[in-house]
Amino acid sequence: MPVTALVGFTSSFAVVIAGLHAVGASRSEAASGLLALCITQGVGIIWLTRRYRMPITLAWSTPGAAFLAGTGAVTGGWPAVVGAFIVVGCAFVLTGLWPALGRLITRIPTTIAQAMLAGVLLPLCLAPVTAVRDQPWAVLPVIAVWLLVLRFASRWAVPSAFVAAAIVIACDLVRTGTAVPLSGLAPQIDLTTPHLTWQAIVGVAIPLYIITMASQNIPGVAVMASFGYAVPWRSSMAVTGVGTIIGGPAGGHAINLAAISAALAAGPDAHPDRDKRWIAASTAGWLYLVLGVASAAVVTLVAIAPPGVMETVAGLALLGILATSLTSALSEIVGREAVIATFLVAASGVSIAGIGAAFWALVVGIVIRLVLVPRKTD
């Protein structure tokens, strides 16, 4: 089903680019990362769907990219970040081979994990607000299109906002007489030699792994189960892990089981016969390979956009995830102090000992919960 890939790509590529730029990727490295993600998840989808005849859909980790966008510079620079990506891929493979690791992740309270994610997302979701103040002429049309389409066809709201942003960028180029840079539009792989640092492993790899597992892989299995499909866990973790390891040196941060977009290929809209829905997912895999060709062009588009425009698109794309995270984080009355503390630390963006706020948010939240919850439940 082409809509699965189109919605997945246009709804969140701006978040991916913002995340890679934030942790030190250059324009060419960010374009390479986007291309690597498209290729690895496309190949992974094609293999899994044909092997198991199930509509198993993969995606890049949008919450993970949002986490990177809020992380900022990492000790060791971009090579250390690439090393962290590879560690995440190894962790995925290990999760499939060693079920105890997956069970350990599920023991982290969902409310704490979701509060951490919500805190990471908050600054990004505030971007449209500040952009309206600074560039109202460029940002308000994008928000207006998003809101209108959201009312009648919600799945196309963010892709439509991207189209509106492209029109705004074109109008700005005409107004300023700026020529579109044609150099660097061809897709290319930009490899980086990975470097392992303990700061990047603790501050990037561990939170990225937890966020991706908690918000993508585990929910992805649940979504597929709701349509009657039992996802082959070990094979899925192996494919996403190996894909992340291969894509890491090229800048791909993580691929995983799709959660939201999984329903598009697994539902009855894909095909009335549930035994043939894998064809729709396989088609999405092929389309991701095609969309990868546009990776350099969309990174160039982001680079020439007026300030705040693409940040607005990224912020709008993350609103739904933020709402879901906040709802889940506050779903339990017991332990809300730990949840709020986790959220505030993650949103603060503070870095201590070269380790970003997301890791410290987890530590603070879990410690407070361990201290307070037993007292309230005795």
The answer to whether residue 358 sits within a structural domain is no
pLDDT-derived band at 142, boundaries 50, 70, 90: very high
Q: How big is the chain by its Cα radius of gyration, in Å?
A: 20
The answer to whether residue 97 sits within a structural domain is yes
Q: Taking 60 as the threshold, does the pLDDT of residue 16 lie above it?
A: yes
pLDDT-derived band at 343, boundaries 50, 70, 90: very high
Comparing CA positions, the residue from 254, 282, 277 lying closest to residue 267 is: 277
Distance, CA of 22 to CA of 16 (rounded, Å): 10
- Chain-centre distance of CA 53, in angstroms? 26
Count of C-beta atoms within a 10 Å radius of residue 365:
30
High-pLDDT (> 70) share of the chain, %: 96
pLDDT-derived band at 200, boundaries 50, 70, 90: very high
**DSSP label at residue 274:** G
Contact in structure between 253 and 24 (CB atoms under 8 Å): no
Contact in structure between 264 and 1 (CB atoms under 8 Å): yes
pLDDT-derived band at 45, boundaries 50, 70, 90: very high
Residue 87: CB partners within 8 Å, gap ≥ 6?
A: 196, 201, 205, 209
Q: What is the mean pLDDT of residues 10-37?
A: 92
Number of domains in the chain: 1
Distance, CA of 325 to CA of 329 (rounded, Å): 6
At residue 182, the pLDDT reads 67
Residue 302: CB partners within 8 Å, gap ≥ 6?
A: 14, 17, 310
The answer to whether residue 308 sits within a structural domain is yes
The answer to whether residue 185 sits within a structural domain is yes
Per the prediction, the chain carries an average pLDDT of 88
The answer to whether residue 317 sits within a structural domain is yes
High-pLDDT (> 90) share of the chain, %: 47
Q: Which domain, by its residues, includes 205?
A: 2-325
Q: Taking the model in full, what pTM does it have?
A: 0.85
- Strands (DSSP E) along the chain, which ranges? 58-60, 255-257
Q: Taking 50 as the threshold, does the pLDDT of residue 373 lie above it?
A: yes
Lowest mean pLDDT among 177-191, 216-230, 339-353: 177-191
The answer to whether residue 126 sits within a structural domain is yes
The answer to whether residue 373 sits within a structural domain is no
Query: DSSP string of 310-352?
Result: HHHHHHHHHHHHHHHHHHHHTS-STTHHHHHHHHHHHHHT--B
The answer to whether residue 287 sits within a structural domain is yes
